[in-house]
Amino acid sequence: MRPKLTLKQIARELDVSISTVSKALKDSPEIGEDTKQKIKAFAKLYNYKPNNIALSLKNRKTKTIGIIIPEIVHYFFTTVISGVEQVANEKGYNVIVCLSNNSFDREVLNLDLLANGSTDGFILSLAKETMQKEDYHHLTEVINQGMPVVLFDRVVDEVHCDKVIIDDIIGAKKAVEHLIETGCKKIGILTTVDYVSVGKLRTRGYIEALEENDYPVDEDLILKIEDMENSEKEIGEFLKTRDVDGLFAVNEQFAVSAIGALRRQGRNVPEDVSVVGFTDGELSKNFIPSLTTVSQHGTRMGAEAAHLLIDKLERKPDEVESYKTVIVETSLVRRESTKN
């Protein structure tokens, strides 16, 4: 077992000073050609690589960005991570991933931990619990200390920072309008409770789309699901007494649960009921029938977030502070669960 090589060891070995070694390796003109060659050869031979931690300490930057998400076993979030990773890597940054598990405490804990020197900045999507508590002091604190933060997907006005979101309302409208265009007359929605911001917004898009097309908005056709565990049963009950011919689900899960329930009730998709989902994940692509859905382009969101963050990190200190929020467009992917 050969431990890592340091400048000091090279210096001792070659009988020069540490600074000479450092400068030689950086090809400084201060050092004589032959000395440089000797040192470089030695370093290459023994595969010297500078210690990142020491560099971080010296430079006061770590070249790593932290990303905190509510859960990782989740298609959308993985695509976002993928996007972040890609551009971070291009720019020479590492990505350190933490999970809040939708818990406020874990979010605070992770943030605190990473804020103490481990990361140069954060990309994060708020935990459900955090949004319920409406307590964002941990974020404002970190931002106050001069750490750039980019919020994505689950964002909140109270925190002043860059943001990356999708046009949830417009996305939902696209979905509902597609249902309308393909001839649906009675359109229901499967959504979440209102404190989940995206659920709320998508519901709003649903309502707006109906109103703009002079469809009546029937509260009885709106199902707000709180308990994800029992969503399947709840959806089944709901559909049993609603003779909708179009259905907008705010996520994949709800969409496939609905299709399953409908089929058990002898109703076919899309012949009797058209269904549109949200999030273009594995399920949407592979389900039978494959799902017409609103794609969120998670990878692009991640990439945008990473760009925003890195821009802030590499900004000259004299530039003026300003917060952007970029909106990544959604697009409707037409497949087999709706008519056309």
Partner DNA sequence: TTTCAACACGCAAACGTTTTCGGACGTTGG
Partner DNA sequence: CCAACGTCCGAAAACGTTTGCGTGTTGAAA
The footprint of DNA (CB under 7 A) covers 4-8, 15-20, 22-23, 25-26, 29-36, 48, 50-51, 54-55, 57-58, 60
- Return all residues near 197 (Cβ < 8 A) that are at least 6 apart: 131, 154, 155, 156
Least distance to a second copy from the beta carbon of 97, Å? 4
Read off φ and ψ for residue 223, nearest 5 degrees.
-110, 115
- Would you count residue 49 as binding a second copy (CB under 8 A)? yes
Please, which residue, 7 or 150, has the CB nearer to DNA? Answer: 7
Please, which residue, 37 or 268, has the CB nearer to DNA? Answer: 37
Least distance to DNA from the beta carbon of 51, Å? 3
User: 199-210 burial string, b = 16+ CB within 10 Å, else e?
Assistant: bbbbbbbbbbbb
Please tell me what DSSP assigns to residue 168.
H
- Would you count residue 253 as binding a second copy (CB under 8 A)? yes
Please, which residue, 177 or 252, has the CB nearer to a second copy? Answer: 252
**Of the candidate residues 245, 247, 281, 310, the single one contacting a second copy (CB under 8 A):** 281
Read off φ and ψ for residue 134, nearest 5 degrees.
55, 35
Least distance to a second copy from the beta carbon of 209, Å? 27
Least distance to DNA from the beta carbon of 319, Å? 22
Are 211 and 218 in contact by the 8 Å Cβ rule? The answer is no
Please, which residue, 47 or 322, has the CB nearer to a second copy? Answer: 47
Please, which residue, 26 or 285, has the CB nearer to DNA? Answer: 26
To which residue do tokens 């109103």 refer? 211
Which of the listed partners (a second copy, DNA, none) does 26 bind, with a CB threshold of 5 to 8 Å by partner kind?
DNA
Are 247 and 275 in contact by the 8 Å Cβ rule? The answer is yes
**Of the candidate residues 41, 54, 217, 228, the single one contacting a second copy (CB under 8 A):** 54
Least distance to a second copy from the beta carbon of 67, Å? 9
Q: Which residues pair with 92 in a beta bridge?
A: none
Give the integer Cα–Cα distance in Å for 193 and 131. Answer: 12
Task: Tell me the window of 51-59, 123-131, 159-167, 168-176 that interacts with a second copy (CB under 8 A).
Answer: 51-59
What SS3 class is residue 108? helix
Least distance to DNA from the beta carbon of 141, Å? 16
Give the integer Cα–Cα distance in Å for 97 and 77. Answer: 11
Read off φ and ψ for residue 66, nearest 5 degrees.
-95, 140
Dihedral sign for Cα 19, 24, 25, 29, please.
Answer: positive
Tokens of 149: 């933060």
Least distance to a second copy from the beta carbon of 38, Å? 23
Q: Which of residues 89-148 bind a second copy (CB under 8 A)?
A: 89, 94-99, 106, 112-118, 141, 144-146
- Return all residues near 291 (Cβ < 8 A) that are at least 6 apart: 252, 255, 256, 275, 276, 277, 283, 284, 285, 335, 336, 337
Which of the listed partners (a second copy, DNA, none) does 82 bind, with a CB threshold of 5 to 8 Å by partner kind?
a second copy
Give the integer Cα–Cα distance in Å for 171 and 250. Answer: 10
Read off φ and ψ for residue 124, nearest 5 degrees.
-150, 155
Least distance to a second copy from the beta carbon of 250, Å? 16
Task: By CB under 8 A, name the binding residues for a second copy.
Answer: 1-4, 47, 49-54, 56-57, 62, 64, 71-75, 78-79, 81-82, 85, 89, 94-99, 106, 112-118, 141, 144-146, 252-253, 256-257, 259-260, 263, 281-283, 286-288
